[in-house]
Structure 1
């Protein structure tokens, strides 16, 4: 099928292609994981990433990764990419999230101001075999379950619920028209339908309602109140070093500060050109008044990230944007796919392809820093009805239900770029793939614990410097 659009072939041929993929990678083969011969040292992998990051922030990254094995896993996408790249794969390509763990699924606001459940983080997005995302998600469930004290049986039950939801949703999507697949979303009705089954459905529905209510309070106005203060010069971003450091505090040299300010102003102007004309028109209603460097996430710590405060009509009309450095996907060395001249554009293209609820201010740009190096960024709103799950507070049944939500949402995202007919045919109607992924998740959780121990030892020996934060 290379070179042919899946839609150009009859469904029977697409299904046959999917079943034929079992000759390249049987469903049961996904249950096997052993480190490849010559597997790189996990600390070396992280150190190579750190070399391209702000050195003063790298210890914060390591400090966060050393808080728990789950936090380590969140920051170790590059390590897992090397492992996935060495395994047999189906060749059934989709646009991958690249970092599909439990905390990268959350409630988001659609442009129509509806709450939907979707993937949130696309820093590592890249085309690749669909199962790589499913494996990363499955392993995250076991790692989170172990942290919560679940038994192996409870962990496996949650993984299999997740993968079964992925498989069944893909089967449903395979029978839908292309436009219906594209318009499919996981709104409140869909979430309630999934949560209304199971032994703890009342608690699940109650907690989902609470999460939705909290998400609706996480608006740009709440971020504005939390992150800014009134000064003699007007509203400015509140310092909280080293996590939030205004530009004026980063550079003591006036000339360097002025050059940096001009470069960030040019960032906004260049970024605007990546937006559609009507959204550029909206952005022109705002003026840039302050900028600050912000530490975000776990795996992203050390990359350059700015928050930009813009004001419209007055100080009661704010817009907070986040400009985040985009580096090459950790999956890029192990996959084929379109090569982008701007990594920010890669992130934006992947997000637009996978996500139903698109941020109207999502765009990209490139900035040449004071050191003369060009760096790619993607830009989005900071906070917009985001509801974040708390796996550490979930019991086994609730985690299984949340896993079902994540698995079903991931299938929908994959079907937008891949061929749901071929993938559904590969997965089939049995639970072969579900059981294999539960075995993989256990094996990979063991590997994650070994890698976490290696980073812990590196911190204790002084090989790396970790700063709790």
Structure 2
């Protein structure tokens, strides 16, 4: 983490890194001959076989879903690109759909990074490149002009640089507490929003607030023969009773794993978890890139049937970043995700924790757990205007800088970025180049499906 050097020394270290790797060099995209489908197939080898076609089908739908699912492909490309050498904890998959609103433990609506499956330590600019490239790809999908696309990516990178530089001047506690409360943010930028954007933003917040355990209970369960049960919707939601022969043993294992998970909490949260008991377990397909990894929902009951808690237990495999950088090892990949999230996110779920096991197929797997629904919501890319995407990208750049400032040496990063526009210019050039590469990679997947090399299931 941050060294004991004074600010001037840390800033000079960043400037030295800039001389070794000039900001302009970050625009370079070095892609040797590589097969993006082969990289995706290496991930498929460890996933649930019958779900892998759903992943390919979702990624093949268009270029932006492909980008969302291709974090490994991009990590492979970034590993051959010029590097600042300045590391921080990375999100590892910082595309714009992995940012959003959620309810903090204090019941405020915050805006932050909300996916940490790939979190790992690495060069800070990898997250920025992933974010600006996602904006470029999304802007293409919306058929924005090249000028509009470049303004969007430049604004995002500029927000990141300016925020890091401001954070570099703050004290450690001020940096730690920096965050975005979405209602306060709306008041600040209200003059920049047109009436349509204001309405859509308010609708997003309203819908996110409504996503709680009572809403999940109504949506995901029904009462059958006097018992609350999770509604089967195969292959997307499959109760464990439909997956295994020895149901009783599966629930005994679940009890043991929940005890292991409990031990990753502070004492007060342990007592809160103790007030709930598990009712039913089901496998649930989530996301795009995550499809095929084991993900479960656990219906818990508290004081009575009307006091539910839904937990999501998600398999944690090694980060896609880990193969390409020198970094720490983890005895449990779920712990990697949880510790990365706690470090980068301003305020995290009170039920965030990790465990090992809990897989009905008998295999030992690392998992992290959190609440399934707790005021979570993401912007709808498909309806964004150029101005809306610019403001959204700017906000994403800002909260990414908050996270990097907490998790790394903000003064060194600020020293590297400097006060000129060179960084955002380089990020914009990189985003342009990578959007072209993403188009080619998406086409490679579609061709692989058409040729029968891989099997895809569309529309699921």
Q: Tell whether the structures are fold-level matches, with TM greater than 0.5.
A: yes
For the pair 1:219 / 2:215, whether they are aligned, the reply is: no
Of residues 313, 328, 331, the one that matches 1:338 is 328
Quote the residue 2:43 is aligned against.
Answer: 49
Q: Please give the alpha-carbon distance, in whole angstroms, between the structure 2 residues aligned to 1:43 and 1:364.
A: 31
Q: What SS class does the counterpart of residue 167 from structure 1 fall into?
A: helix
- Counterpart residue number, 2:201: 208
- Contact 1:221–1:318 (Cα < 8 Å) also in 2: yes
> Is the Cα contact below 8 Å between 2:101 and 2:182 reproduced in 1?
no
**2:135 — aligned with what?**
141
Q: Structure 1 residue 18 and structure 2 residue 14: aligned? A: yes
1:443 aligns with 2:433: yes
Return the alpha-carbon distance in structure 2 between the equivalents of residues 360 and 233 of structure 1. 31
Q: Which runs of 5+ in 2 are unaligned?
A: none
User: Which stretch of structure 1 is more off in the superposition, 299-308 or 202-211?
Assistant: 202-211
- Give the number of equivalent residue pairs: 459
Asked if 1:245 is matched to 2:238, the reply is yes
Deviations 1:134-162 (A, max 9, x none): 00000000100000010111100000010
Q: How does 1:29-428 map to 2 (within 5 A)?
A: 29-36=25-32, 39-188=33-182, 190-192=184-186, 195-196=189-190, 198=192, 200-251=193-244, 253=245, 256-367=246-357, 369=359, 372-428=362-418
Shift of 1:369: 4.3
Q: Is the 8 A contact 2:112 2:180 kept in 1?
A: yes
Deviations 1:379-437 (A, max 9, x none): 00011011210111111111101000000010001100111111111111111110111
Task: Give the whole-Å Cα distance in 2 for the aligned partners of 1:54 and 1:249.
Answer: 15
What is the CA RMSD across the aligned residues, in angstroms? 1.4
Check whether the contact 1:194–1:404 (CA below 8 A) recurs between aligned residues: no
State TM-score, norm by structure 1: 0.95
Could you report, residue by residue, the CA deviation over 1:187-246 in whole angstroms, capped at 9, with x for unpaired residues? 135522663354x45544443222212211111211111001111151111111110000
Partners of 1:57 and 1:357 in 2: CA distance = 33
Q: Secondary structure at the match of 2:365?
A: strand
Q: Deviations over 1:36-90 (max 9, x none)?
A: 3xx4311110001000000010011111101110000000000001001111211
Query: Gapped runs of 5+ residues in structure 1?
Result: none
Taking structure 2 as the reference length, the TM-score comes to 0.97
Q: Which runs of 4+ in 1 moved over 6 A?
A: none
For 2:194 and 2:287, how far apart are their aligned partners in 1?
A: 31
* Alpha carbons 1:81, 1:330 under 8 Å: kept: yes
Alpha-carbon distance between aligned partners in 2 of 1:136 and 1:445, rounded to the nearest angstrom: 11
Q: Distance in 2 between matches of 1:414 and 1:164?
A: 15
Q: CA–CA distance in 2 between the matches of 1:353 and 1:132?
A: 18
Given that 1:191 and 1:405 are in contact with CA atoms closer than 8 Å, whether structure 2 keeps it comes out as no
Q: Is the 8 A contact 1:109 1:357 kept in 2?
A: no
